[in-house]
Structure 1
Amino acid sequence: MSPKLELLHQKTVDELLNKDITALNFKKRQKLFQHAIKSSNFYNNKYKHLKVFETGIHSPEDFLQLPPLTREELRLNFDDIKVNNVNYKDCKKVSTSGSTGPSVSVLHDKRHPETPIRWRILKWWGVEPWENQAFIYRFKKPLFERLSNKLMWWPTKRVFLAAANPTDEQLSKFVHDFNNIKPALLQGYVDVVFEFALYLLDNKIDIHPPKMVWVTSAPLFEEQRELMQKAFKAPVCDQYGNTEIMLIAAECPEQNGLHIMQDTVHIEFVDEDNQPVSPNTSGKVLLTDLTNYAFPLIRYEIGDEGKFKNHLCECGCPLPLMDNIRGRQSKHIATPSGLQIKGEHIMAMFDGHMKYFKEIQLLQSADYTVCISYVPREIEKGKKEMEVMTHMLKQRTRAEINIIHKEVEQVKRVGKKSPIIISEF
């Protein structure tokens, strides 16, 4: 078969697989809807006035009749959302950090763990279950959790760094242990992995290159990615997930967007009327967890914005693509005239300047004043670059608000996270 025919054949196969996954996704939504109205008091009351309550969901258009689940509804109706016959041995209660608003809680259904999806993603990068791994978290995990993790993954070796103000001795030990076990994977929060990368670069320290670096829990500046790849001599994988639904989408080695785990989650990008927007057009994110039968999440409006890509990936995976999330659940910067600058726009504006800083954070007060707190890598260069960034933000806000900046030793933490924007609005 000629290369041209092989390419055409592969394209046909990919299109058929994509159709199969789309059909599976819809069947799972149908089943979840029937389960929710039968077993959850909240969804029974929320949907009982709709036509589909009686007729069922028979088309994608029927599914669009379902009103979104808001974060406020989730926060106020935990007991009614969970199913009536829930067995708590099959569940785990988790809560958000509160970094983007009041904390919400959900139940994870342990009958459908996220581990197989995690290994699907790692397989794309050539990481195997028996290979060693390294992790960087902000805080040290409890002793029991560390011991159980070690026993569960024996004889695989794992090393951990608690990155909340680590000492030079702790950092040196982590580097030594890292080079000793030569992990295939390094995983951690974006900000702490970035801090460790800067430590390596600033001190001219080499480590054994892992197969990939997986960062989570915050949007990723492209300049952060470039510096991390330079420090680790390995590709950095961005992913999209949250406390409520852990693994939604992730990059493959092509790094041309995030593959959506369409067989376990349904994602929509919609306009203000909750109707689908076209590919390559930004819209509100609505999430439906197709595997959680203990605590259904249907068309959950999480507060993010994103967009579909209108092509399949060259890697051959039939899972559809979405753009990398920017400004995840972030507050907007507001002005007295009603102008709102989205977090994703601020990230795009500041990208290209992050190499001068370990961290930045925008705090907007009730009088509209914005203070940009920053932790510089080099004090003088940081000051000069921050003047430029402050001027850029003043222009973007049409000089309607007062914008100041200050150097800090550490930006404000909310739970385990360091939000880019904290606002009193």
Structure 2
Amino acid sequence: MGNHFSKIIFELKTKILSPKLNNLHRKSEASLGVKSLSTLNFVKRQAIIQHAVKHSTFYREKYAGLPLVEDGMQTHEDFLALPPLTRDELRSNFRSIKADNVAFSNYRKARTSGTTSAPVFLLHDKRHPETPIRWRILNWWGIEPCENQAFIYRYKKPFINSLKNKALWWPTKRVFLAMANPSAKQLNKFVHDFNHIKPALVQGYVDVVFEFAMYLLDNDIKIHPPKMVWVTSAPLFEEQREIMKKAFGAPVCDQYGNTEILLIAAECPVQNGLHMMQDTVHIEFVDDNNQPVQPNTTGKILLTDLTNYAFPLIRYEIGDEGKYKDHMCSCGSSLPLMDNVRGRQSMNIRTPSGLRIRGEHIMAMFEGYMKAFKEIQLRQEANFSVCIEYVPRKLNQGSKEADEMTKLLMLRARCEIAVDCREIQKIQQVGLKSPLIISNLELP
């Protein structure tokens, strides 16, 4: 009865106080029923490019001389002729990228964490929030927005933000845990509150959700199983996924998103890759010449936000790598699939001869060892040497596993670089993220 009542109140509140959000959710789901998502995607690309050329000084100058400035984008080849937007351009041209016809009330400012370089600033278009896409993903997993939720993050939310969050999503109940050195009392309270509200969803950063999962297993603590655990902010080791699944008694959903475009792709319960949100973002996998690679081939990821008219992002080279899958999912969704993103282009180890060891390959090598650690991080210095820094789960644990990982990486690097390991108390964080690789190489 209580859940049914909460659902009625939540839906009524949403329709009255957030009718626009409710309408956007209905429209987003209706878009999946169109005859051709690729045609819808193309039309939306035409519209955002036309808008950018007209209302953004940066794009008007960047595309000067291209036929589409006068005639608009007519073919896919016209689109492929557009020079990508680089991270340096985004960092240096904030004012000129911003559309000149957007009201202050229609955008909010955001900044990246600066995981691989200095942070960049951008605008999010408040007229097209990510919530409808989030609700779409939750629906795949049988979760309704009105159901209770639990969040595990690194730091405690400011008190005023917590109050606003509770008021915004009432009558949904939400519990939060900050995993930055929590006390036994805080952990026990979170477990108690968790079991009291029985959340359908657990969401948080990969590393801290994994750490909490290990705490549950180490202490043989049982919690009410949610319908799904949603992790973000870092690549997900498959071993981490299995441990979380065991601790929470629930499947773990991997997703792909970033500060620039919050929700790009996510897993459905079939878990055979990530469904790309083709109606809100255009994703390309390209070679060094920015031309499409074949399906199932790793390429640079270029992103075009189809909904951000306040701050257009067109063929944005985010710095990630990924693969397009050449088959549709057995779940029946019309959204195409991509492989799980395992790392950034710049998240790799390099050798003096030019060998590049991708982050995804390092993750694959290290599978089977992660149970011994809370966190690991690879630090490459200017002389190409690498140190595997690790935080053990328990005292006097992890040294054997770290030694084995050191040998594996040295062999993979063809013994061109020195590799060692050391135990530390805390890995380096960049913004809210914990990158797998910190590189001090000065690359050309």
Sort the TM-score into its range (normalised by shorter chain): over 0.9
Q: Does 1:252 align with 2:268?
A: yes
Report matched runs for 1:23-102 at 5 Å: 23-102=39-118
Partner of 2:234: 218
Measured in 2, the distance between the counterparts of 1:317 and 1:124 equals 10
Partner of 2:350: 334
Identify which of 223, 231, 236 aligns with 1:207.
223
How far apart are residue 18 of structure 1 and its match? 7.6
Contact map agreement 1:42 1:80 (CA 8 A) in 2: yes
Measured in 2, the distance between the counterparts of 1:329 and 1:86 equals 33
1:373 counterpart SS class: strand
How far apart are residue 327 of structure 1 and its match? 1.3
2:398 counterpart SS class: helix
Identity %: 69
Q: Would the alpha carbon gap of residues 351 and 19 (structure 1) be closer, same or farther in structure 2, given more than 3 Å must change?
A: farther
Contact map agreement 2:345 2:358 (CA 8 A) in 1: no
Counterpart amino acid of residue 422 in structure 2 = K
Q: Does 1:391 align with 2:407?
A: yes
Measured in 2, the distance between the counterparts of 1:374 and 1:113 equals 38
Report matched runs for 1:156-195 at 5 Å: 156-195=172-211
1:301 counterpart SS class: strand
How far apart are residue 330 of structure 1 and its match? 4.5
Counterpart amino acid of residue 132 in structure 2 = P
How far apart are residue 54 of structure 1 and its match? 2.1
The ranges of structure 1 where at least 4 consecutive aligned residues each deviate by more than 4 angstroms after the TM superposition are 16-19
How far apart are residue 143 of structure 1 and its match? 1.5
Measured in 1, the distance between the counterparts of 2:344 and 2:218 equals 29
Q: Does 1:371 align with 2:424?
A: no
Measured in 2, the distance between the counterparts of 1:277 and 1:379 equals 47
Number of residues of Structure 1 aligned to a counterpart in Structure 2: 410
Report matched runs for 1:219-234 at 5 Å: 219-234=235-250
Report matched runs for 1:219-368 at 5 Å: 219-328=235-344, 330-368=346-384
Report matched runs for 1:114-125 at 5 Å: 114-125=130-141
How far apart are residue 402 of structure 1 and its match? 1.2
How far apart are residue 381 of structure 1 and its match? 4.7
How far apart are residue 102 of structure 1 and its match? 1.3
In terms of mean alpha carbon deviation, does 127-136 or 333-342 score higher? 333-342
Measured in 1, the distance between the counterparts of 2:367 and 2:66 equals 45
Measured in 1, the distance between the counterparts of 2:94 and 2:347 equals 24
Counterpart amino acid of residue 56 in structure 1 = G
Measured in 2, the distance between the counterparts of 1:239 and 1:328 equals 15
Contact map agreement 1:305 1:325 (CA 8 A) in 2: yes
How far apart are residue 419 of structure 1 and its match? 0.6
Measured in 2, the distance between the counterparts of 1:413 and 1:381 equals 23
1:314 counterpart SS class: coil
Contact map agreement 1:18 1:318 (CA 8 A) in 2: no
How far apart are residue 329 of structure 1 and its match? 5.2
Partner of 1:149: 165
Instruction: Provide TM-score, normalisation by structure 1.
Output: 0.95
In terms of mean alpha carbon deviation, does 349-358 or 30-39 score higher? 349-358
Measured in 1, the distance between the counterparts of 2:370 and 2:346 equals 18
Measured in 2, the distance between the counterparts of 1:331 and 1:324 equals 15
How far apart are residue 176 of structure 1 and its match? 0.6
How far apart are residue 152 of structure 1 and its match? 1.1
Measured in 1, the distance between the counterparts of 2:150 and 2:216 equals 15
In terms of mean alpha carbon deviation, does 23-32 or 164-173 score higher? 164-173
Measured in 2, the distance between the counterparts of 1:312 and 1:124 equals 16
Contact map agreement 2:202 2:230 (CA 8 A) in 1: yes
Partner of 2:26: none
2:320 counterpart SS class: strand
How far apart are residue 367 of structure 1 and its match? 1.3
Counterpart amino acid of residue 92 in structure 1 = R
Partner of 2:24: none
Q: Does 1:404 align with 2:420?
A: yes
Measured in 2, the distance between the counterparts of 1:42 and 1:329 equals 26
In terms of mean alpha carbon deviation, does 55-64 or 240-249 score higher? 55-64
In terms of mean alpha carbon deviation, does 244-253 or 348-357 score higher? 348-357
Partner of 1:128: 144
Counterpart amino acid of residue 251 in structure 2 = P
Gaps of 5+ in 1: 1-15
Contact map agreement 2:321 2:341 (CA 8 A) in 1: yes
Q: Over residues 61-91 of structure 1, what are the superposed CA-to-partner deviations in whole Å (9 max), with x where a residue is unaligned? A: 1110101000000000001100112212111
Contact map agreement 1:219 1:328 (CA 8 A) in 2: no
